[in-house]
Amino acid sequence: MYNTRMIYKDKHTRRTDAQPKRTSLATCGVVIAVLAIACALIALGILGEAPHDVWQRAAMVCYECIGIG
């Protein structure tokens, strides 16, 4: 249960400037490295034979679903 002293203390001890927390340079570097690796792997997948294989498998699944394959 709050009393007036607790409410007064709570109201006057809160930070009003509300500065956003800054991320460290190491954290930003890790995020950038992970994004770069992800983009490189996506590019390798697109340039390789992966899209063709995925398309072939998807077509076979569709044919099996409708009873042709």
Its domain, for residue 39, covers 28-69
How many angstroms separate the CA atoms of 63 and 21, rounded? Answer: 54
C-alpha dihedral, 34 to 40 to 42 to 48, nearest 10°: -150
Total structural domains within the chain: 1
10-68 pLDDT, tens per residue?
555 555 566 667 778 788 899 999 999 999 998 988 888 778 888 888 888 877 777 77
Alpha carbon 68 to chain centroid, angstroms = 39
Please give the pLDDT value at position 7. Answer: 57
Q: Is the pLDDT of residue 5 over 70?
A: no
| 8 found inside a domain | no
In a domain? residue 39:
yes
**Is 10 within a domain?**
no
pTM: 0.47
Is 9 inside a domain boundary?
no
46 within domain boundaries: yes
Domain presence at residue 65: yes
